[in-house]
Structure 1
Amino acid sequence: MKTTSSQKIKIGLFTFAGLVVLVLAIFFIGNQKSMFSSTFNVYGTFKNVSGLQVGNNVRFAGINVGVVQSINIVTDSSVRVDLTLNNSVKKFIKTDSKLSIGSDGLMGDKLVVVAPGGITSHEEIQNGGRLGSINPVDVDKIITKLTKVADNAESLTTDLSQIVGKINNGKGSIGRLLNNDNMAKNLESTVKQAQTTMKTVHATTNTLNEDLTAAQHNFLLRGFFNKKKKAAQAKQDSIKKVQEQQQKDKDKATKDKADKADKDKQ
């Protein structure tokens, strides 16, 4: 079956449209990956790249300025990440700039963020230079800790639920106290009785103090209390004299020591 001229035109148009789409796709992808612009390379090392992949974007001041060129394991605790950046941002990136790994949105792809430098150095980074890096947070460790906290919270909630259930059912001392009216009344009665007893003791103490004060003024017992008072005063005077004598002896010893030192110097 021969192909008609209209079919040939349609095939040609379809082929041409496909080529145009292919060229536009190549241009778009190349532009995104900085394939058609002048570039330079830098690198940094991380302990953990947190899922970063080759081809992911590199951002500076919120703008895509390059791509991740390669990711290689250097040691068991070091991963080298090579970046290809547009030459247009080279003058803004200093030798003290920092690399960090972030996310494109909350759940987006990983990317490398270049923080501007110029704090400790104003020297422009050179092609192939190394930039400092800030290691990302280990999400797995955080999730593990949160899981443990959640497990402990669940266990604590279960225990509290069991305790509350026992109390509501009248089990245990607190449960019986809260659910047994007789025990509550007995406890209330005991508290009231204790309060009455304390009032009685307080009143008795006040009466004894009044009796003792009256006895001190009684002419039959006044001599006895006066002797007790004089004896206590004599004891205090004796202690005071001893302390004064000790202080004098101490001052004399200090003075003698100082006089001896002056004689030795002369």
Structure 2
Amino acid sequence: MRNDNKKTVLVGVFVLIGIIILVAGIMTLGGQQKKFVKSISLKAVFDDVAGLQTGNNVWFSGVKIGTVKKIHFYGDSQVEIEMNVESKSKDYIRKDSKATISSDGLIGNKIIVIYGGTSQAPVVENGDRLISEMPLDTDKMMETLQENNKNLVSITNDLKILTGKIAEGEGIIGAVLTDSTLAMSFRNMMTSLERTAVKSNQMTTDLAKLSANLNQEGNLVHDLLTDKEIYGNLQKSILDLQSTADNAKEMTTNLNQVTNKLNSTDNAVGTLLNDREFNNTLKSTLVNIDSSTMNLNRGLEALEYTWPFRRGFKRMNKANNN
């Protein structure tokens, strides 16, 4: 009888412990799933939920505020997510907040992340639908990474081939690295460049000294740059030179016109200088005039000895002698 009572007590103890464990488990799971807190329902529509399941967590600013309650199709090919969110957190979520799907860690369970929202927008209410933002497609990311890896391998192979050719002395870089003659020439070129740089610095210093000397008071350049009276005189001289140049230009134009007229036969001087036939005629005329003058002189001399004029010429000679 005692043994039966003892067994009954042990069974009752184990049953009680089991009930306690069950209740504790229910309370723990309910606490994790926010089953025993006051909550509101929020919704979001996605094109692809990327493996999100009922019971997954909902986060806001890094804090767990609820769980996914339902997942069902919406419209033609979209999916609507219904979330249970703690009522005490709704004051921080605005109607223009966004919801996206993320991962709990790198390869953890999918979660809903609520973010954004402006203070100008009102707080959410039960049954509101948030703006959904599609997450990055990890499959496409992996494809991109694989393509980048292939490109990286290709680039590495090209670099391997290039460095091999350089090591063998191929190409300009390889020749420079392996040919001692080219290295010496390059060294000489660098030496020449260094000398040129030194000379350039020296020339710059000399120019600086020259400019400093030119800026000293009493220097002609300094006076020309600063003395207004000299500048006025110089400007006046330039204007006089310009006037002289204009006069010389006008005189040259007139001389060109006179020369053109002298080279033409439409005037007396031009005809005299350029018409050969006229010149020959004029020369012949002058010869004839000269001959006529000579004959006239001879006639006058002979006239002196003619009888009618002899007495008159004697009187004239006698008067001239007296």
**TM-score, length-scaled by structure 2:** 0.50
Taking the aligned partners of 2:139 and 2:165, their CA distance within structure 1 comes to 39
Alignment-derived partner of residue 155 in structure 2: 156
Taking the aligned partners of 2:156 and 2:116, their CA distance within structure 1 comes to 48
Structure that is richer in strand per residue: 1
Alignment-derived partner of residue 119 in structure 2: 119
- With over 3 angstroms needed to count, the CA separation of the structure-2 counterparts of 1:91 and 1:165, relative to structure 1, is closer
Output the aligned Cα RMSD: 3.4
- With over 3 angstroms needed to count, the CA separation of the structure-2 counterparts of 1:178 and 1:96, relative to structure 1, is closer
Secondary structure of residue in 1 paired with 2:136: coil
**CA offsets, 1:76-120, max 9 Å, x none?**
763211111223333443322222223334443222222363434
Taking the aligned partners of 1:72 and 1:154, their CA distance within structure 2 comes to 44
- With over 3 angstroms needed to count, the CA separation of the structure-2 counterparts of 1:168 and 1:96, relative to structure 1, is closer
Alignment-derived partner of residue 41 in structure 1: 41
Taking the aligned partners of 2:161 and 2:3, their CA distance within structure 1 comes to 85
- With over 3 angstroms needed to count, the CA separation of the structure-2 counterparts of 1:30 and 1:168, relative to structure 1, is same
Taking the aligned partners of 1:45 and 1:94, their CA distance within structure 2 comes to 17
Which runs of 5 or more residues in structure 1 are unaligned? Answer: 196-233, 235-266
1:59-138 aligned at under 5 Å gives the runs 59-74=59-74, 78-115=78-115, 117-122=117-122, 124-138=123-137
Once the two structures are overlaid, the 10-residue window that deviates more, 172-181 or 152-161, is 172-181
Whichever residue aligns with residue 50 of structure 1, its letter is A
Moved over 6 A (4+): none
Taking the aligned partners of 2:91 and 2:176, their CA distance within structure 1 comes to 79
Alignment-derived partner of residue 224 in structure 1: none
Q: 1:19: how far off?
A: 1.0
Secondary structure of residue in 2 paired with 1:165: helix
Once the two structures are overlaid, the 10-residue window that deviates more, 16-25 or 28-37, is 28-37
Secondary structure of residue in 2 paired with 1:54: coil
Taking the aligned partners of 2:155 and 2:52, their CA distance within structure 1 comes to 39
Structure that is richer in helix per residue: 2
Instruction: Calculate percent identity across the aligned residue pairs.
Output: 33
The higher radius of gyration belongs to 2
How many residue pairs get aligned? The number is 190
Higher relative contact order (CA closer than 8 Å, sequence separation 6+): 1
> Is the 8 Å Cα contact of residues 49 and 136 (structure 1) preserved in structure 2?
no
| 1:11 matches 2:11 | yes
Whichever residue aligns with residue 121 of structure 1, its letter is A
Which runs of 5 or more residues in structure 2 are unaligned? Answer: 193-248, 250-322
Secondary structure of residue in 1 paired with 2:161: helix
> Is the 8 Å Cα contact of residues 92 and 116 (structure 1) preserved in structure 2?
no
> Is the 8 Å Cα contact of residues 46 and 80 (structure 2) preserved in structure 1?
yes
**TM-score, length-scaled by structure 1:** 0.59
